[in-house]
Structure 1
Amino acid sequence: MTSSASQAPGPAGPGEPSADLLRQFWWLHDARWYQGVARRFGQDAANEVNAEAMQFVTRRIASAYAREEGLGPGLSAAELATALTGISELMTGDAVEASNKVTGEESFETAVTRNFALEMLARAGTLEGYECPCPQMRAGWFEGLKTEVSDHRVECLRTGGSACRFRTSTASDAAAATDAATAATAATPTVPGKETP
């Protein structure tokens, strides 16, 4: 497996923009694009199109990352946590502060404690009504990595949380939890004339 860090852009040569500068231009474009759509067509349309575009782009980025790193489909929780860290750094540099912590053999948790996009939206006065496309971004990553997961957002910076927090289980772990819930429901006795809770 090759390391993406070893292939990351190095210092810019004379007359070449740095990777960080290019990222700043991307963030600026993204913010202006979102605000332009919101002004012309409303914030609901801006949120919807932003989420669709985010899922498309992140699927492509994750797919390219998987090829570069030699990752096959059906990654473990530990492999996913490592991949998400690499992909996030590739996309955002230090504009987003996030960590991915393995919490079990088939589960991990993501905590985003700083998101530059939210800071920019707050400065522009357009944070209210903004819907974070984080679920679609993550869905794109998992699609690009060809790994089925159960991914749940449990906290959000945008709505006042201390972090954007996600809990993720790989497909086999999620399937086991669903099977256990189904079995528990089937084993619950029913009383004639009464609904099962």
Structure 2
Amino acid sequence: MSDDGKEAPDRLPGKLPDLKSVRDLSENELTVALRQFWWLHDARWYQGVKKRFGQEVANEINAEALRFVGRRVGTWYANTHGVPDGSSPAELAEAVAGLTRTMTTEQMMRSHVEEIGEESLETVVTEFFALRMLKAARSLEGYECPCLDMRGGWFEGLGVKVEETTVECMRTGGSACRFHTEVRREPHTEAQATAHAEVSAELPAEQAS
């Protein structure tokens, strides 16, 4: 819902699969659609909280929720693909790229990750659909990006301690969003073990393994 009472656009960027039977859809097509609908839910949820309780509360809860989801996604990635070597920016960059693609599609977010030092890397986001939707809903002003919270959840789930800073942000007028990531210690920390235990307790046995 926009501030003037009009409904915000419900369409997400990118084209959904051509109309056909669900049984004919590939696993990839279903995954793409699910990602889009999940983020659409997130957008509508944010607008609902903002309308009822104000944008400050919406920003706070949004950051908490995305950090929670990010931590679960990071733990799943570590369990599925292995824990990246925290001392190897190349492995960590590959993990960040994989985590990004787990949560979004290329139509929703365009980004790349590159090494910029022996223990650091930089993520550059050149397009993100959420900012367009927020602008259309007239909610961009006052919106606090939860990017560092979500990414912080990723690294907690991976078990890699890092220090991250936002170098540039499109919401505040930057040409891109740039995140500088510097590794602080080796992976397989107690935080990851705790996160894994929490996920295992919440998921069905066949998914938790």
1:87-118 CA-to-partner distances (Å, cap 9, x unmatched) read: 10110012111111001111111111111111
Cα RMSD, aligned residues only: 1.9
Match of 2:47, SS?
helix
Cα distance in 1 for partners of 2:84, 2:46 equals 34
Q: Give the one of 60, 64, 70 matched to 2:72.
A: 60
Distance 1:102 1:15, change over 3 A: closer
How many equivalent pairs are there?
162
Matches within 5 A, 1:1-197: 13-14=23-24, 18-71=30-83, 74=86, 76-94=88-106, 95-171=108-184
SS of 2:24's partner is: coil
Structure 1 runs of 4+ with >3 Å offset:
72-75
> Structure 2-normalised TM-score?
0.73
**Aligned counterpart, 1:188:** none
Q: Contact 1:76–1:170 at 8 Å: present in 2 too? A: no
Deviation at 1:14, TM superposition (A): 2.7
Consecutive unaligned residues in structure 2, runs of 5 or more:
1-21, 186-209
TM-score, normalisation: structure 1? 0.77
Quote the Cα distance in structure 2 between the aligned partners of 1:82 and 1:72: 8
Render the CA deviation track for 1:22-73: whole Å, top value 9, x for unaligned.
1121121111100000000000000000000000000000110111002267
Partner residue in 2 for 1:179? none
Unaligned 5+ runs, structure 1: 1-11, 173-197
Distance 1:74 1:39 in 2: 42
DSSP-derived class of the 2:83 partner: coil
Distance change in 2, residues 1:59/1:77 (3 Å): same
Paired with 1:101 and 1:147, the residues of 2 have a C-alpha distance of 17
